[in-house]
Amino acid sequence: MGYLDGFKVTLRKWAGVHTDTGRRLTMEYPEEVRPKPERFHGRHVLNRYDDGMEKCIGCELCAGVCPANCIYVRGADNDPDDPTSPGERFGYVYEINYLRCIHCDLCVEACPTEAITESKLFEFAFTDRNDAIYTKAELVVDDDGRPQQLPWENWSGGFDPAADTSGWMRATSPSGNAEFEGLVAWATELGYGTRDAELGQVADVPADEQPETPDEGGH
């Protein structure tokens, strides 16, 4: 009977998923969606401040750090009477080529203004290579702080700001506070504010003694 032993595993699993749905691994995607991990890296968004101004200052640090060379940024002078971003300079061109992007999040880490962060949106497929190049108009969040849904993106699972905003971690500390080095935080993009840092990231500090996430918005 030895050659039938292998089938026991198959039969057990088969019976298991029909009697106990908690053991089932496959899902009826896309009708059902699996919850994504906290730091899941999806497509980027360009954030704005509460007053609607863009956070991007066109400094190109994201493009400079990008290992896949998928970001193209050019700055320009802000019109002092009708500025796009605070300060002298704004991102005039901002493009990400998703045929090249490896979602490493280094751009997010490099950004001095938390202008670029990632969402957890990942379900997009293109029939035209040009569609894969997201322009600034497509990346910038809408007035409610939500990413814009583009025609080739599948949002069938809906968009839940709490669940679909990627947590991010910087080699430096979030918000410039040295005590928070190595902690995960969430960008304070328009509409979502701050959330608590992910705890337990620093090995030698017990979770209940770890510092609180700073709650000031933006920079």
Binding site for another protein (CB under 8 A): 57-61, 63-64, 74-77, 87-89, 92, 112-113
b/e per residue, 105-142, with b = 16+ CB within 10 A?
A: bbbbbbbebbbbbbbbbbbbeeeeeebbbbebebbbbe
Give least dist CB 219 to another protein, A: 11
Which residue type is seen at 17? V
CB < 8 Å & 24+ apart, contacts of 79-87 = 83/53, 84/53, 84/54, 85/53, 85/54, 85/55, 85/56, 85/57, 85/58, 86/49, 86/53, 86/57, 87/57
Give least dist CB 86 to another protein, A: 10
Give least dist CB 126 to another protein, A: 23
Give least dist CB 191 to another protein, A: 24
Q: Which is nearer to another protein, 57 or 185 (CB)?
A: 57
For 52, 88, 131, 143, 189, the CA distances from 82, given in Å and listed in that order, are 12, 11, 30, 17, 21
Q: Which is nearer to another protein, 46 or 63 (CB)?
A: 63
Give least dist CB 22 to another protein, A: 49
Q: Which is nearer to another protein, 52 or 80 (CB)?
A: 80
> Which of left, alpha, beta for 69 (phi over 0: left; psi -120 to 50: alpha)?
left
Q: Which is nearer to another protein, 13 or 219 (CB)?
A: 219
Q: Which is nearer to another protein, 68 or 163 (CB)?
A: 68
